[in-house]
Amino acid sequence: MKNTLLALTVTAFAASIVSCSSTPAPTSSSTSGGAPGTGGAQTGGNGGETSQVGGSAGGSGGRVGAGGTTATGGSGGLGSSTVGPGGAGGTNPRGGAGGTVAPSGGTPSGGAGGAGGAGAMGGTTGPGGQSGGGTQGSGASTGTGGRPGSGGTSAAGGATGSAGTSGNGGTAGQGGATGTGGMTGSGGASGTGGKTGQGGATATGGVTASGGNSGTGGSAGPVTVSCPGAAPAGITPDWCSCDQWGQWAKGDATYYNDIWGSGAGPQCIWVSGDQWGVAANHPSGGSVKSYPNISLSPGKAISAYTTYTSSFEITVPSGGAWEVAYDLWVQNGSTKIEIMLWVNYTQGKVSPAGSLGVSNVTTGGHTWNVYYGSYGGNDVISLLRTTNMTSATVDIKDIFNWLIANKKTFNTSWTLYQFQFGPEIVSDSGVQSFVVNSFSVSSS
């Protein structure tokens, strides 16, 4: 059976960043200078003078040669009734404290050796000051260790291998500042960081590689004869029903599942905005199983319309046995005539009621083959378009005018009481989907 149609417009649905200055030594007849530092940029200063009897103070220790061996401290002064301080050992830049004072008239007691000069930058330890016959001078302090050499630049990271193997990081320079780790190859794992420099800080680890792009997801699976799975992927239904007589009113239109034939299989209808469709799995054999449709009930005489047109855009399956058709009902009292307009169908698998009456009739903007028959006690006129179409505008009023003029079974005083559009399904090749992407009716 069929149900009622609509006057509604359905729109296609389609969507990171020292200057060292030493105090001048006192004038004296003899001096015992400290040895210049070996390899130093500066010559070591003179050591402290030997004190005269009645001694004058020992001279200051020699300067430390830059980068060289620590200067030898001056000899301690000879003892006397009055003895000056011993020569100070070379420090960096001056020697240490002078020798101790000899007792009056006593044996000369050399001043304590000056403390050894601090090591020059990178130099070796200077020897301690010589004793002046007295207490032995203190040993020189150990020279400060050499400054670490600058770190080597890290090697560039290796290119990414198959499956994103990370590149090896470069080794850090020895004794230097931290070597920068090798950069990771593109798309790979993090590169191995540079090894720690000898005496230096730990090398910075390699930069982490960027992750690979995600693979494109697979397309959604096929529709199912269930709700909401009856709608294709990406469509969320406003309404869905798998009931035999499921229906939903929206504005002037009503959507029907309308499973009316015998031997039918499962079928679900859905609506999303101005788009709607159906998923069905009807078995082979028998005749029409269903006519899911959108229906309007105009309820006016044909003569009340100057124009009456309809447009559609559909997506249909390739298999099965079915047609997509307008189903128009005109009525006069209790007499009804069904007028079907087949716009797309599986030719050779389905056929209209009755027999061919007229071939290649051009009306309503298209060319049709016209069949006349009956079904359920009502006359049926079927116009089958000579070629299938998935989108078109059909002039319904022009078709009425042609039928009235040529068939003469009704006239303009008859009422257009029902107007439907959808797929009439005989069988499906598995689960099949029909989608009405857009549908509209216009009249004046």
pLDDT in tens, 2-48: 443 333 333 333 333 333 333 333 333 333 334 433 433 333 333 33
pLDDT in tens, 223-246: 999 999 999 999 999 999 999 999
pLDDT of residue 222: 83
Residue 178 forms part of a structural domain: no
| Of the residues 93, 125, 141, the one at which a domain ends | 141
**Mean pLDDT in residue range 154-174:** 40
**Mean pLDDT in residue range 357-362:** 98
User: Are residue 134 and residue 278 in the same domain, yes or no?
Assistant: no
Residue 4 forms part of a structural domain: no
**Mean pLDDT in residue range 164-168:** 39
Residue 325 forms part of a structural domain: yes
> By the 8 A CB rule, do 184 and 191 touch?
yes
Q: Does the structure show a pLDDT above 80 at 298?
A: yes
pLDDT of residue 317: 97
| Of the residues 141, 167, 190, the one at which a domain ends | 141
Total domain count for the chain?
2
pLDDT in tens, 300-335: 999 999 999 999 999 999 999 999 999 999 999 999
Choose between 379 and 61: higher pLDDT.
379
pTM for the whole structure: 0.54
Structure tokens at 399: 């078709």
Predicted confidence band of residue 132 (pLDDT cuts 50, 70, 90): very low
Residue numbers of the domain that contains 249:
239-443
Give the least confident one: 186-200, 258-272, 386-400.
186-200
Here the CATH number for the domain that contains residue 400 is: 2.60.120.180
User: Are residue 130 and residue 245 in the same domain, yes or no?
Assistant: no
User: Are residue 279 and residue 406 in the same domain, yes or no?
Assistant: yes
Give the least confident one: 165-174, 235-244, 359-368, 435-444.
165-174
Give the least confident one: 158-162, 408-412, 437-441.
158-162
| Of the residues 101, 122, 141, the one at which a domain ends | 141
Query: What percentage of the chain carries pLDDT values higher than 70?
Result: 50
Choose between 236 and 181: higher pLDDT.
236
**Mean pLDDT in residue range 194-204:** 40
User: Are residue 128 and residue 252 in the same domain, yes or no?
Assistant: no
pLDDT of residue 221: 56
Could you tell me whether strands 391-395 and 415-427 are parallel, antiparallel, or unpaired per DSSP bridges?
unpaired
Give the least confident one: 154-158, 301-305, 436-440.
154-158
